[in-house]
Every structure is written in C-alpha cells, then in structure tokens.
Amino acid sequence: MSRTRRVLAPYLLILPGGLWLLLFFVVPMVTMLSLSLQQGDVVSGYVFTGHWQTYVDAFGNYRTQMVRSLIYGAITTIVLIVLAFPVAYWIAFYGGRRKPTYLFLLLLPFFVSFVLRTISWRQILTDEGMLLGPLKDIGLLPDGFHILGTPTAVIGGLVYNFLPFMVLPVYVALERIDPRVVEAARDLYADPATAFRKVIFPLALPGVFAGVLMTFVPASSDYVNSAVLGSSSTTMIGQVIQSQYLVSSNYPTASALSFTLMGVLLAGVFLYARMLGTEDVMKVAAR
C-alpha cells in the first residue's frame, strides 16, 4: 500500500500544476498553430484548410519588421554584454561584503512597472525635455536634434529594461570562479589581459549564455519600447502581431506571425548554443 503511494505521490503533486500548464500553455500553442492554418473570419468562423499560404503572405508582408526586430534584438544583446560584463565583474571580484547591496540597487527599478519606466524615459528624452532642452539652450546640440522616434531610442530603451537580466547571470558565473584559479594563471606569467581572456571569460560564458537567452528573446519580441519610444520607421514585429490580434482581429495572419517569430527566435537560440558547442550551457540555462 505504502509502495503504491510512493509511486503515485509525485504524480499527485504535479497533477494540478501540470494540468494548468497543459491547458493554458500547451493547448493554446496547439490552438494557435491550428488557427494559423485556417481560413475565414471572426463573424462566420474559421475552417481548417491547411492553408500554408498565410505564412508565406504574412512573412512577405512583414519581412521588414521581422528582420528589424531581430537586428534590434541582436544589437541590444551585444550592447548588454558589453555594458553588463564590467558591472558583474566588479561586483563579483571587488564587491566584498556589499555584494547583496549592489545587486539590490541594480534590481531597484524592477519595483516600478515596466510600462511606467519606459514612459518615464520618454519624458526624459522628449525634444525640448529635461535632457535635450538645456543642451539645446547652451548650443551643444542643434535645435532640430531629436532622439525619440529613432532606432537609438528604441534600442536604448530595450537595453535599459533588460540590463539586470544580463548582469545577474554573468555575476553568478563570475562569482563561482575560484580566485586561486586566476592567481595560478598570474603565477604562470599570464598578464592580466591574458588571464582574463583565457581563464575568466571562458568560465563566465555559461552566464553570458543564460543572459543572452533571458534578453534576446524578450527584446526581439518586445513592443512596448518601440511603441513608446519609437516611430513608424522603428515598428517591430511585436507591434504588428499585437495590432493584427487586437485591432484587426486577423487571427490566422497574427497566429502565423507569432509562430514564425517563435520559430526564428528558438532557431537563433539553438544555433547560438551549437556555436558555443557545449551541452552544459543548456543545462546551466535550464537551471
């Protein structure tokens, strides 16, 4: 009796949560895949026709936005690695007893809603606002200068919003490095740059990978930053999908675009994992 209970116990424990994930994550994905291959409209209903042409048309019509989103996502991720690494490095090696305090300060903005923070940036960056206004008054910038509406504003917003997601995993990886390993490299006559390149950076790579995973996907599919800080020339695929769903109610096209986006992003992540060539980065990321 006790033995059956032992075998059944884990299944009983996962049943409610597992069922929830099945019903509201797996089933919706399947529904969306099916809907992307159906034809019809909201009023008269949809019929499954296996109409692959929707994918071809959707991709053809919105290729610019799709490619732009991936480029913005990639630039954001690269800028994030460059900006976040020194911070993570300094906290991990020189933070001392204050490490938790520094990490807490980095996470502080998260106590304010994502949408509100992005709108706050718009207020800072407006053409005659608190940042550009004074600079224009003293003649440092030409009167016609603007940041809002440019790719710089959108990518800047993305970098801003996702920075902690890059700092934290890189920090965790760097924190685990035994300082004696670095000392050993120095004792063996590696100069600081070589010690960094050959010892510290390779050991930090799993952290960088986890950071890329946590930032590239959400940054590429974001639509808040491009809507609040951008213009019609910076429209990202997320905005297209959002308006196809919520404004035009064009479900098959919207579903096809969502699937294409997810497929492309997953392919990108796996390609990147392959490039790094290790199985354990995947495990670290999954942890």
Q: How far apart are CB 72 and other proteins at their closest, in Å?
A: 14
- 3-state SS, residue 282: helix
Nearer to other proteins, 111 or 189 (CB): 111
The string of DSSP codes covering 23-89 is IIIIHHHHHHHHHHTEEEETTTEEEE---THHHHHHHHHTHHHHHHHHHHHHHHHHHHHHHHHHHHH
The pair of three-digit structure tokens given for residue 136, joined into one six-digit string = 């224009």
Nearer to other proteins, 10 or 139 (CB): 10
Alpha carbon distances (Å) from 19 to 6, 8, 55, 120: 21, 16, 31, 40
The string of DSSP codes covering 165-198 is HHHHHHHHHHHTS-HHHHHHHHHTT--HHHHIII
Nearer to other proteins, 72 or 251 (CB): 251
Q: How far apart are CB 30 and other proteins at their closest, in Å?
A: 9
Q: How far apart are CB 105 and other proteins at their closest, in Å?
A: 5
In this structure, the chain runs to a length of 287
Nearer to other proteins, 72 or 89 (CB): 89
Q: How far apart are CB 229 and other proteins at their closest, in Å?
A: 11
Q: How far apart are CB 221 and other proteins at their closest, in Å?
A: 4
Nearer to other proteins, 42 or 181 (CB): 42
Nearer to other proteins, 94 or 145 (CB): 94
Q: How far apart are CB 88 and other proteins at their closest, in Å?
A: 9
State how far the Cα of 222 lies from the Cα of 69, in Å rounded to an integer: 8
CB 283 within 8 A of CB 210: no
State how far the Cα of 119 lies from the Cα of 122, in Å rounded to an integer: 5
